[in-house]
Amino acid sequence: MLLTVEEMSFFKCNGYLIKRGVLDAELMERARARLWDGAPPGRRREDPDTWVGPFAEAEESGDGDNARRGFRWNFREPGGEEWMVRLLAKNSAIWEMAEQFLGEGTLVEPERIRGIYCTLPYGDHAVPDLTCHCDGHPFNLGVVGYIDRVEPGGGSFMVWPGSHRKFYYAFDSQYKNEKTEEYERLREYFNQQEPVDCYGEPGDIVFWHQRLGHMAGPNTTRRIRQAVLYDYLKQDLHEAQEEPPQEDMWRDWSAQMRALELEE
């Protein structure tokens, strides 16, 4: 399942790429079952009526391994389990595609993924405005994998296409969270644009550039949005993150990515 030239060109222009049917079905079911080990009492997998948010105050948790607040549930505890790493970061197809983007033999060997990130259904609650942000921690290439169906409006990974080519230059460093004044101006601009709702089926993944404007969309369906996330790191990231944005923002990417002409 290698990337085509057209797909790599799309990513270079838009900052994201959706690939369908990549994740292993058995590991996805294992992850869907594992999620409920972190559920508070009363939230039951077999009863969709208990899935609707937000979490009550008594259900909220500030535990970094199992954070729950409002409509968000980030179950990070299983992220270091070997099978979870195989599900996403070391899925052979995803690994090969990541190397196409960043260069063969350049990636740090993963020890864990972020975990299972969920958005509860909003039910009758008001839906917030759609606003983008860039992640603050250093990495090279992000990937989101859906382990269950995500319908349109179902809390998908939402993206603002092309924003990576602007936000990249709105930081003092290539990868660290050192924003310039331009960052907020750009956020205001892109927040007036319509994002892309990257909904999908179990097994679909979304690659995304580290400086892409994005958000976890509100969930207006009756299904919990369940996704696994990982951030690919290059072996030279520690040094590269100290450098300012480069004239060629693709300098640290594969030779194939650097050679692609940028087409709008």
Q: Where are the domains of the chain?
A: 5-259
SS3 66: strand
Q: Yes or no: say if 103 and 253 are a contact pair by the CB < 8 Å rule.
A: yes
Separation of alpha carbons 141 and 133, rounded Å: 16
Domain spanning 5-259: CATH 3.30.420.40? no
Cross-sheet strand order for the sheet of 115-119: 16-19, 205-209, 141-146, 225-232, 115-119, 72-75, 66-69
Cα separation, 120 vs 53, whole angstroms? 5
What string of pLDDT tens digits covers the 264 residues of the chain? 799 999 999 999 999 999 999 999 999 999 999 999 999 999 999 999 999 999 999 999 999 999 999 999 999 999 999 999 999 999 999 999 999 999 999 999 999 999 999 999 999 999 999 999 999 899 999 999 999 999 999 999 999 999 999 999 999 999 999 999 999 999 999 999 999 999 999 999 999 999 999 999 999 999 999 999 999 999 999 999 999 999 999 999 999 999 999 865
The one-letter amino acid code at 175 reads Y
Q: What is the pLDDT of residue 1?
A: 78
Distances (CA, A) of 71 to 125, 128, 162, 178, 180: 10, 12, 28, 29, 31
Taking the model in full, what pTM does it have? 0.97
Residue 194 token pair: 């319509």
pLDDT at 176: 97
Q: How far is CA 61 from CA 7, 66, 75, 125, 230, in A?
A: 40, 7, 11, 21, 22
Percent of the chain with pLDDT strictly greater than 90:
98
pLDDT at 264: 59
Give the pLDDT score at 262: 84
Measured CA to CA in angstroms, residue 211 lies from 82, 132, 173, 174 at distances of: 29, 11, 11, 9
